[in-house]
A and B are shown apart, each in its own frame.
Chain A
Amino acid sequence: MNRESIGVIICSCSGRNLGKQEIDSITQRLSFAESGIRNMIIETALCGEDTLKSLRNEVEKKGISSLIIAGCGAARISGVTEKIADALSFAPSSILGVPLFYSEGAESEKNKLGINEARVDKAVRGISRGMNVLTSQEPLEIEEIPVVQRALVIGGGAAGIYTADALNRFGHETVLVEKKDSLSDYGIDEKKLKDLEGVIIHTGSSLVSLEGSKGNFSACVKTPGGLEEYQAGAVVIASGAPVPADPKKYLQNRFGSSSAVPLFSLATAYSGLPRIPSLRRIGILLDLDRDEGRASTQMALHAAQEIQKPNAAEVFLFLRDARVGSLHLEELYDAVRDMGVTIVKYSGEAKISSLETGLQVTVQDDGLGVLTDYTCDLLGISPFGCAAEEDDPLSEITGVHLDDYGQFQDNNIQLMPVETNIPGIFTAGGGRGEVYSPKVKQEALAAAGEVHFLLKNKTLHLERSEAQVDPDKCILCLTCIRCCPHGAMHVNREDGVAECSTAACQRCGICAGECPAKAISLPVWTDEIVLNQL
């Protein structure tokens, strides 16, 4: 890389940065040293819009092709470099942020005359290191990846329909794949189906394989008429909640009694019970295998209300925590409690044993602090609380991780709700666990928005900074393919080596760290660059 085209920007912003004399001292030392720096720009408030404008002019005038930005603390510098890279349309690897840690220089000290040698030293060292890094690496190629202008939505339930509808309105070609034979099985009315005009709908179909990465997936869909191949730029998984396929049978088998029924058929089962002079004891149990949310709570409260109303039964509601975080649910909860439903908050696991007639629920009562038994003639159990019998096959086909409960959701705070571990694949609705019904539409819109954000660019301009596999060293042990969390590694069948996808790679370097043959390296994070920081 041409050394003369590297520019250095030092931010003299009024935040926590250097005093004027210190900046003078740094520029002096850098220009005296054999650093080869020709372009030095001192700026105030780098993050401001006005500054960016003047910066763009200056960079163009001087013909600068890569930049070192010294300023801010470590927490902010990456945001600032990203912003500047965006404004100047620089490739990410040609801009390097050098954070200046000034914690030892208190703000009050900054305005004092005089120079803090330690701080100046650190800044000069940081900038020189940055120069080393930039000069030691070749400029990376930019790859243009065309984005296939089509979205694939898997699942035709509420979430899938809303997503497809939104994508249709955004003007993207959309393919909807649904397992069931008709969308009307979900209670979708004619009007809604009419809205979906333009969406390619395959009912009675399922996804067989999905390959490729963000912007360019190729999917194989099994339809009643045979296999269909589709290219798609993004995929939305909107499959159903991971609940037992036949909850009634599942509960009967699990507890060995027909007194355990799924919550949604509790009212029917209750009305079928023969009348007896004494009160019936009816239980409703939530949070059996996993914690549930507002949708289950709402369903349970409604069921309790319905059975309790004629005052012919004694209703117990067992839950680990009442999730009533919405105005309407809060009111419903109060109403149900006032009606006389006994609400038992328990901790730990609920034990259910079958009796001659009915069931016995043993829970650690939170309020009383003792282990308590409750006998119930009938127990309604929310199917959303039951663990899925088997993993959703979509997980294996798409490579999207499932959590401990079989839900399409990594237990990770860094992922937004509709994001998955694989870039370009999003998820909405029941597949990510039980969702409160008013939230389904929001979630679907969020997923559609993400897809729109991806598809609106006709091409992705990506730097070839993804993990590089040395074909001479690769022994195809498949370690990288197993450990890549983003599904970016795959086998190049022609050459018989592993290969990394530019679009899917997130440049984390896990594969480089794991590769037993040391065949993988990250161009912007080579061992040399890392050790250079020492």
Chain B
Amino acid sequence: MEKKIALYCCENSAYKAAACLTGPELQKGIEIIKLPCTGKMEINLILKTLEQGYAGVLVAGCPIDNCKYIRGSSRAEKRIEKTRELLKAAGIPEQRVRMEFLSSVDSHKLAGAIKEMKQELEGVMS
């Protein structure tokens, strides 16, 4: 079976955008997980997700300036960057973890990011 992408969404923005993803090719191969804020996204959660056999982790939160909890997105961004560094150091392709900033109406951006990530993963995982 094809490996899936875990899509961690902030419930205030990206989760709503994810609800509007249409088309079977987009919905196939992703698992949507709700978070109160991307600021809750911990490094160990990402690693555990990868450990469970997911091909990639895409964290999607509010735009930096418009985080409902003011600093959540900027905190998450730093953490995701750190996780990518950790993966790189361990010899795991860093493309497996990615962060996107979008508002609840930006489902097209999310769709684009998922497509792009799928392509990237195909390249590095094969």
- Give chain A's interface residues, CB within 8 Å of chain B: 73-75, 78, 99, 101, 103-104, 401, 410-415, 421, 483, 485-486, 506-510, 512-514, 518, 522, 525, 527, 530-531, 533-534
Contacts and interface: CB of A to CB of B under 8 A. Distances in A.
A509 B70 contact: no
Contacts of B49: 531, 534
Chain B residues touching A, majority SS: mixed
Contacts of A412: 65-67, 70
B41 interface: yes
A509 B19 contact: no
6 contacts: A73-B16, A101-B19, A485-B69, A508-B39, A512-B42, A530-B45
Given A103-B22, A509-B40, A510-B40, A534 B67 contact: no
A533 B34 contact: yes
Contacts of B22: 103-104
Given A412-B65, A525-B35, 9 more contacts: A103-B20, A103-B22, A486-B69, A513-B39, A514-B39, A530-B33, A531-B52, A534-B31, A534-B49
Contact of B42 (A421, A483, A507, A513): A513
Contacts of A512: 40, 42
A486 B37 CA distance: 14
A458 B67 CA distance: 31
Contacts of A507: 36
Contacts of B71: 483, 485, 510
A486 B12 CA distance: 17
B104 to A, nearest CB: 7
Given A508-B72, A510-B72, A525 B45 contact: no
Contacts of B11: 78
Interface in B12-68: 12, 15-16, 18-24, 27, 31-37, 39-42, 44-45, 48-49, 52, 54, 62, 65-68
Contacts of A525: 35-36, 40
A509 B35 contact: yes
Given A485-B69, A510-B69, A513-B39, A74 B15 contact: yes
Contacts of B121: none
A104 B28 CA distance: 11
Indicate the member of A410, A412, A421, A512 with the most B CB atoms within 10 Å: A412
B6 to A, nearest CB: 6
Contact of B44 (A103, A514, A527, A533): A527
B73 to A, nearest CB: 10
Contacts of B84: none
B93 to A, nearest CB: 20
Interface residues of B, number: 43
A506 B72 CA distance: 12
Given A421-B70, A525-B36, A534 B45 contact: no
Contacts of A73: 16, 19-20
A483 B75 CA distance: 9
Nearest to B9: A74
A518 B40 CA distance: 12
A486 B70 CA distance: 9
Indicate the member of A414, A508, A509, A525 with the most B CB atoms within 10 Å: A508
B69 A534 contact: no
A398 B62 CA distance: 26
A512 B75 CA distance: 12
B24 A104 contact: yes
A527 B15 CA distance: 18
Nearest to A506: B69
B19 A401 contact: no
Contacts of A514: 39, 75
Given A103-B20, A510-B72, A534 B33 contact: yes
Indicate the member of A101, A410, A411 with the most B CB atoms within 10 Å: A101
A95 B48 CA distance: 27
A509 B71 CA distance: 11
A330 B19 CA distance: 44
Nearest to A510: B39
A443 B34 CA distance: 36
Interface in B71-126: 71-72, 75-76, 79, 104
Contacts of B52: 531, 534
Nearest to B13: A414
Indicate the member of B6, B40, B76 with the most A CB atoms within 10 Å: B40
Contact of A531 (B41, B45, B79): B45
A97 to B, nearest CB: 10
Nearest to B65: A411
B36 A522 contact: yes
A474 B52 CA distance: 29
A506 B67 CA distance: 13
